[in-house]
Structure 1
Amino acid sequence: MTEHSSTSHTPRRVAVVTGGSRGIGRESAERLAADGYAVVVNYAGNEAEADKTVAAITEAGGEAIAVRADVADETEVAALFDATESAFGGVDVVVHAAGVMALAPLVDLDLDALDRMHRTNIRGTFVVDQQAARRLRAGGALINFSSSVLALAIPGYSAYAATKGAVEAMTLIVARELRGRDVTVNAVAPGPTATALFLEGKDEETVARMAAQPPLERLGTPRDIAEVVSFLAGPAGRWVNGQVLRANGGIA
C-alpha cells in the first residue's frame, strides 16, 4: 500500500459546537472546519443563523450540518450526538460555547433570570459534558467556556460569574474522571470580546473603557478565541489538560 493510499483512509475528525450559530461559537465552528473537521453546528432557536454558519463552511470547502437542541435537555442533547455519529461516524471534539447572560447587582437580579442562567450555563454544561464523556473517541478534546469575569469580580456579574465558577469546577473534575481515555478537558475563559452578546446594551463610552483595560488595549475578537479553541482541539494542545485558559489580553 502506498503512503498516499494509507493516509487517504484516515477518518475525518468530527467536532460538535454548541451555540454555533453566532459569536464565538460560530467563529470556532468555521475555524475547526478550516482545520479539516466535519462540524455539527448546534443551535437553540436561530435556525437561519445556524444555516448561515453551515453555508459559510461548505462554501469554503468544508463539511457541516446544523442540528437544533436545547443544551439543558438531556434527550435533545443525546439526539444531537446521535445525529453527529449518524452523519459523520463519531465525535472527536466538543466545543460547548452555548450560554446566556443577565446582568444586575445581586440585590436586584430577578430570580427567573438566575434560574435561566443556571439551566443553560450549569445544567447545560453538565448535560453536554455527560454526552461528551460517554462518546468522545480516543485523542479527543472537550472544551467548555468559562469567563474572565470570574477573576475580575465585576459588580453586576454575581449570578453569571457563579455559573461560570460551576463550569470551571466541572471542567477540572471531568478531566480527572476521564483518566485512561486519552481525552483532554479544558475551559476557555474569554475576556471582553466584541460579540453581539457582549455589546448589547452598552454605550460607546462603556465599550471604549473596557477596550482600554487590557495591556493590549483592545477588545478581543471571536477569531482570537477561536484560535485558542483550535489549539486545544488540535495536536499542538494535547499536553494541556484540566486547565482554564484565560484568553483576555492580560486583563486579569
Structure 2
Amino acid sequence: MATTADYAQLPSLHTDYSLSADQVAAYRRNGHILLKQVATRDEIQAYEPIIAGVVREHDYNTKPVAERDTYGRAFIQIGNLWQMNEGAKRFVMARRFAKIAAELMGVQGVRIYHDQALFKEPGGGHTPWHQDQVYWPLDTPNTVTLWMPLVPVSEEVGSMTFVDGSQTLGYMSRQAISDESHKTLGSFIEGKQLPKTNYGAMAAGDATFHAGWTLHSAPGNPTDTMREVMTIIYIADGVRIIEPDSKARENDMKGWFPGLAPGDVAASALNPLVYKD
C-alpha cells in the first residue's frame, strides 16, 4: 500500500504551461481547444496507475455494458477522486492545470467544482449531445472542463466532438444526458448546420478544455481497450450559486456545495482554491 512518503515522490505538476494569445483567443471564440502534452509522458506514467486503481476500487457496475441504459453504457464515472486518494489529489490540485483554466477564462483565480474519471469500456456506447452546465447551479459562464486521456486514444475513438461557438448560445435545454438530448440537440445542430470539431487521436497527457455551455458529444469505444480519461471542472473564484431550476441542479448543489444555499459564494470545503494570480 502506498504511503504519504510515496505520494510525495510523485511529479509536482506545478510548473507552468505556456499559452499563446492565439490559443486563448481560439478557446474564447470556439468554446474549446486542444492543448498538446499538458502532462508529460513521465507524469502520466506516474499518475495513471493511481487513478486507474481508484476507478477499479470504486466501480460498482455489475451489469454487462449491453444491459445498461444509454448513460450507463457511456462510461464508468467516478467523482471526486481527490477525496479518495492522496495521489489522485495531487493530480486534481495541479497548479499547472488550474492556471491554464484561469488564463483561458480570463479570471484571476479558480476553484475545483469536482473531478470525474470517465472510463469508456471496450464496447462502451456513445456519449449523447449535451451541455455540462445544465447540471450546475452557477451564476456564471466562467466554467471550464479539462478532459485528459491517461492512455493513447486512437482515431476511431477520438476526442469529443464540439460545436464551435456554441458556448455563446447559453442555456438551451434542461435535458440531462440521454437519448432525448442527443436527438433534440442533434436535430438543432444539423438544422442550423453548426460547425463541429473533433480533434481525433490524442496522446496520453494531451488535453481538451471546453466551456460549460459548449455543446459536445463523444463516440463509442469499438476497440478492445479501456479509454481512460480524467476530467477536472474549474469554476471562477467568487461565483455564486443560483436557485436550482431542475432536479439535476438541486442534486448538484447538495452534492458539490454541501452546507451552501442559493446566493452563497460557491466555495464549500469541496471547492478548494487551486490557483490565484
Q: Which TM-score tier does this pair reach, normalised by the shorter chain?
A: under 0.3
Q: TM-score scaled to structure 1, two decimals?
A: 0.26
Q: Which has the higher contact order (CA 8 A, sep 6+)?
A: 2
Give 1 or 2: higher strand fraction: 2
